[in-house]
Every structure is written in structure tokens, then in C-alpha cells.
Chains A and B, each alone.
Chain A
Amino acid sequence: IAGITQAPTSQILAAGRRMTLRCTQDMRHNAMYWYRQDLGLGLRLIHYSNTAGTTGKGEVPDGYSVSRANTDDFPLTLASAVPSQTSVYFCASSVGGGPDEQFFGPGTRLTVL
């Protein structure tokens, strides 16, 4: 059982380029999340989805978009990357929202130059 996977593991990207970070879970969880982790700022929620077909904005959604066409996949797209989007990105999933345990992927380290 893979759990939750993210790709790529790391990426260096030129500013202005478009980039999609992939996230797939095989646990049939309803809810999925994207966070960014920055030194001194902890984890901040970018976007989330409580169920397939629905998405919501988190604390820092600007410059990012998501889609949830099916239960398993939750890609995060940077339409035109900027250096301030340099970060480590974590995808997570849970059975439902609220009190349910979130399971995290291994992360994607993104550097925008």
C-alpha cells in the first residue's frame, strides 16, 4: 500500500513557468489538502477538498489552483511561478474533514529562480 505519493520529489523552476505538483492517494479518503512549509512560518494551508468535485481556499491560496476530478488525485498548479513560491509542499488526505487524522505525503521541494 503506497498511501499518499507526491511527484516530483524536487524541482528547480524558472520564474514565470507553469508547474503542476502531483498528489495521489490510494486510501479512498474523501478529503485532501495542500500545504506549504516555510522556515519560521510552519505549515500553511493553500487549498483543500472535502470530497471529489469540491475545493476550498485555505490561508494562502493566491497564485495556486487545484482540481479534484476524482477521489484519488489532487494536483496543485502554479500558473506563473514566482520566487516567493519557493517552499516545501506537502499533500495530505483524511477520511473526512475536522477530527480525522491527516496522512501526509513525503513532500515536494520547489525552488523558483
Chain B
Amino acid sequence: AQSVTQLDSQVPVFEEAPVELRCNYSSSVSVYLFWYVQYPNQGLQLLLKYLSGSTLVESINGFEAEFNKSQTSFHLRKPSVHISDTAEYFCAVSDQGNTPLVFGKGTRLSVIA
């Protein structure tokens, strides 16, 4: 069964600094990879996903993630964070097929003014 490891439970960062949230998954077989974001007191929303093709995927609000098959990683990056990026971020993986997503335990990003 798939598993997802988010190495950092909390990441504090100053506004306008770069950030990387790390995600590793357990299997090297073909997978679909996702990042979801949860703002305070809300449900999760899809941030970006990798299904196939280019290994670098981008979101509309400046985040990007790179699929690295050899390292089984899908780290999320942003070159300059804003206060509004403060949220919890979840990495998720699904085997190709109809299997449900497996979520990591989440990384709480706190942007400091």
C-alpha cells in the first residue's frame, strides 16, 4: 500500500522568503501526486497535481512542485511567500487506477510578517 511522508510538521518562514515543503511517497510504480491546501476552518482545496508529462507542475498562486521519480519525491516550492499562504498543506498519492488518495500528515506553513 502507498504511504506518504511529509518530513516537516511545521514550517515558519518570513514573508517574501522562499519555502520548500517536502513530500516523499513509498512506491516507485506509476502514481498520481497531489498537493492540497487547507486554510483555517475550511476544507481542503486542490493546489496542484502531477498525472503525467512534464515533471514540473505549477499552481495559479505561484507554487510549483517537481516530480522526481528516482527520489520518489514531490516537493512543493514557492520563491516568495505571502501572509495569505499561511495554511496547512497536504501531499497525497494515488496508484494509477481507481484507488482512493492516501494523504500525508500535513505541514503547517506559518508566514511571519
| Residues in A lying within 8 Å of B, measured CB to CB | 33, 35, 40-45, 48, 50, 56, 58, 90, 92, 96-99, 101-102, 104-107
Contact = CB atoms under 8 A, between A and B. Distances in A.
Contacts of B104: 42
B6 to A, nearest CB: 8
Contact of B43 (A44, A98, A104): A104
16 contacts: A33-B100, A35-B103, A42-B106, A43-B44, A43-B90, A43-B106, A45-B100, A45-B102, A45-B103, A90-B43, A90-B44, A98-B95, A101-B49, A104-B45, A106-B42, A107-B42
A42 B111 CA distance: 20
Interface string B24-49: 00000000100010000011111001
A99 B100 CA distance: 9
Contacts, number: 60
Nearest to B32: A99
Contacts of A56: 100
A38 B43 CA distance: 13
Nearest to B97: A98
A33 B101 CA distance: 10
B98 interface: yes
Nearest to A91: B43
A64 to B, nearest CB: 15
Contact of A98 (B6, B46, B98): B98
Nearest to B98: A97
Contacts of B98: 50, 96-98
B22 interface: no
A99 B49 contact: yes
B44 A104 contact: yes
B99 interface: yes
A108 to B, nearest CB: 11
A92 B100 CA distance: 11
A92 B43 CA distance: 9
Contact of B105 (A41, A45, A99, A106): A41
Given A98-B97, A102-B101, A40 B43 contact: no
Contacts of B44: 43, 90, 92, 102, 104
